[in-house]
Amino acid sequence: MPLTLDKDIFGRMLLAHHQGHDGSHFIERSDGLLDEFPSGAYFGADWSEGEKQAMNLVRGRVLDVGCGAGRHSLRLQKQGHKVTAIDVSPLAIRVCRVRGVRDARILDIACLNRLPARSFDSVIMFGNNFGLVGTPFRARGIMKALHRITAPGAKIFAGSLNPHQTSNLLHLAYHGWNRAHNRPAGLTRLRVRFGTRVGPWIDWLHVSPAEMKKILGGTGWKMARRLGDKSPGYVAVLEKVSRDPA
């Protein structure tokens, strides 16, 4: 059976789970690798060690980038934070609102400049959501936009995955292909498959802490520390530099 293109495939999966249906889905990589994921992971409290540590450091007004089903926003609301949750998926935002996220908006990460200047004290990009930047070049523009919309002293908690911390031959071969085509090793071309539907191909960037530091140069942000355990996944604490980026 041919697959049907669905531009909001991720949100459709979240909505299915919220309505009590099986939301199990696959992440397909451009080399054909398929990984199956349970939809409950986007709703539950099974967070990474880095995310657990970061939640204790969040302060003030919060922007949740790529909020999904809103699990982090809901926890921060309960802690008394004013949270703005954004996602490019209309159905994900629908799920967030139904679940109780008070300020959930449909907004692409590329459109952050639509938000008012100096509006946020903390930005969370959990679930490896630093990868939403797509490419190192695009990342710099997004980081500059985050500089404009955050208050002095703001912090970003950026989740990523160190692609080099692996011995998996399939992953290493993919990294090698990327390098041979002048792409960062951790730049992954992927799409979501759910039932008979498939989403569009997107670029998702995985970076090591050293690579993240290099990307941040000239954006008005510096990496202060790495949170997490010894696994490849981590959360970087990014501190706002007082001067405006070039």
Return the pLDDT at 242: 74
The CATH number of the domain where 175 resides is what?
Answer: 3.40.50.150
Please compute, for residue 109, the number of CA atoms within 13 A of its CA located in the half-sphere on the CB side.
Answer: 22
- Which strand ranges, in their side-by-side order, compose the sheet holding 233-240? 104-106, 83-87, 62-65, 120-125, 150-161, 233-240, 221-227
Is 77 part of a structural domain of the chain? yes
Q: Could you tell me which of 94, 102, 177, 112 has the C-alpha nearest to residue 150?
A: 112
* Structure tokens, 105: 């908006």
State the pLDDT confidence band at 54, using cuts at 50, 70 and 90: very high
Return the pLDDT at 1: 66
Is 6 part of a structural domain of the chain? no
Q: Please state the domain count of the chain.
A: 1
Is 3 part of a structural domain of the chain? no
State the pLDDT confidence band at 246, using cuts at 50, 70 and 90: low
pLDDT in tens, 201-216: 999 999 999 999 999 9
Is 26 part of a structural domain of the chain? no
pLDDT in tens, 27-48: 999 999 999 999 999 998 789 9
143 pLDDT more than 80: yes
Report yes or no on whether pTM surpasses 0.85.
Answer: yes
Segments forming the whole domain that contains residue 107: 47-194+201-240
